[in-house]
């Protein structure tokens, strides 16, 4: 099931996407009366996808990023993967949805894209053993962990570099029925392939990440874990368009503009 969050005629709602593929002409949104963190009730209303505005599929209380979780990315950054997950936070004010613009800061000279599989948490949880990790997952979406690389290096910690407004694109929807143990994660910029990895190469897999994070903090429904990015991260410039694709989910595309 593909869960969408959308705006239509001034209202924001959740719904279920019906139809094959990603072409809006072939897709319809079955409107729901509630949210996806309880049994969803469909209203019976159906809207063509082309007539609605897709939003970020969830508004998390927090976003948990995982650093250097692909060995090839750790190597390109001049390091090695950590023995335990390296966790950082991105604020929910950084979230944007499909088609929304990534705004480059005036005083950063190097902003990178980072294509990632994003895990959406489905219920309140704490101290989850890895054997039960998938029980707390609602589904998966595409994420772009946009990063001001020069700020990351100069600050010595990552809050400013990762947390700038518009630096957490999510979407286009949440896929609830997908085996993500070995799916492709790709990024293109203006159609040029920049990143091409597979989740089978994650250093710390999803159950390990959920077990590790919930050992130290409670996760709430809608919280998002960005599982790490493969090699090939690169700079963004005004006027470009960056797309993140995850096999079995879809494609998240955002234009890039100057502030």
Residue 5 host element (H or E): strand 2-8
Task: Please tell me the predicted confidence (pLDDT) of residue 79.
Answer: 85
Q: Which of 17, 238, 6 is nearest to 139 (CA)?
A: 17
Do 14 and 39 lie in one domain? The reply is: yes
Q: For the chain, how big is the Rg over CA atoms in Å?
A: 17
Q: Which of 250, 258, 257, 230 is nearest to 98 (CA)?
A: 250
What is the value of pTM for the model shown? 0.97
Do 28 and 127 lie in one domain? The reply is: no
Distance CA 232, CA 73 (A): 7
Q: Per the structure block, which two tokens stand in for 111?
A: 């902003």
**Sign of torsion, CA 235 184 159 95?**
positive
Beta-carbon count within 10 A of 80 CB: 11
Owning domain of residue 24: 2-54
Q: 138-157 burial by CB neighbour count: b if 16+ within 10 A, else e?
A: bbbbbbbbbbbbbbbeeeee
Distance CA 232, CA 186 (A): 9
Count up the domains in the chain and report the number.
2
Do 50 and 119 lie in one domain? The reply is: no
What is the block-wise mean pLDDT of the chain (259 residues), using blocks of 10 residues?
96 96 93 94 96 97 97 90 96 98 97 98 98 98 98 95 98 98 98 98 98 98 98 98 98 97
Do 48 and 101 lie in one domain? The reply is: no
Do 115 and 67 lie in one domain? The reply is: yes
List residues bridging with 90 in a β-sheet: 63
Beta-carbon count within 10 A of 68 CB: 20
Do 39 and 82 lie in one domain? The reply is: no
Residue 169 host element (H or E): strand 168-175
Do 172 and 233 lie in one domain? The reply is: yes
């Amino acid at each position: 099931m593909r869960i969408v969050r959308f705006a239509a005629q001034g209202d924001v709602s959740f719904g279920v996407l019906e139809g094959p593929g990603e072409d809006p002409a072939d897709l319809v949104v079955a409107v729901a009366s509630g949210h996806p963190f309880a049994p969803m009730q469909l209203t019976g209303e159906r809207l063509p996808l082309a007539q609605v505005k897709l939003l970020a599929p969830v508004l998390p209380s927090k976003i948990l990023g995982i650093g250097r979780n692909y060995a090839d990315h750790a190597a390109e950054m001049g390091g090695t993967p950590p023995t335990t997950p390296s966790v950082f936070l991105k604020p929910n004010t950084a979230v944007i949805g499909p088609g929304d613009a990534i705004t480059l800061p005036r005083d950063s000279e190097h902003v990178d894209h980072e294509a990632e599989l994003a895990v959406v948490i489905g219920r309140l949880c704490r101290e989850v053993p890895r054997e039960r990790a998938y029980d707390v997952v609602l589904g998966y979406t595409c994420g772009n962990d946009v990063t001001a690389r020069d700020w990351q290096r100069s600050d010595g910690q990552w809050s400013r570099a990762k947390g700038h407004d518009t630096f957490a694109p999510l979407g286009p929807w949440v896929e609830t029925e997908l085996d993500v143990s070995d799916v492709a994660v790709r990024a293109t910029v203006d159609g040029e392939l920049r990143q091409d990895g597979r989740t089978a190469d994650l250093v710390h897999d999803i159950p390990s990440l959920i077990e590790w994070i919930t050992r130290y903090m409670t996760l709430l429904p809608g919280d998002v874990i960005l599982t790490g990015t493969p090699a090939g991260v690169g700079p963004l410039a005004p006027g470009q368009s960056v797309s993140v694709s995850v096999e079995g989910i879809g494609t998240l595309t955002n234009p890039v503009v100057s502030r």
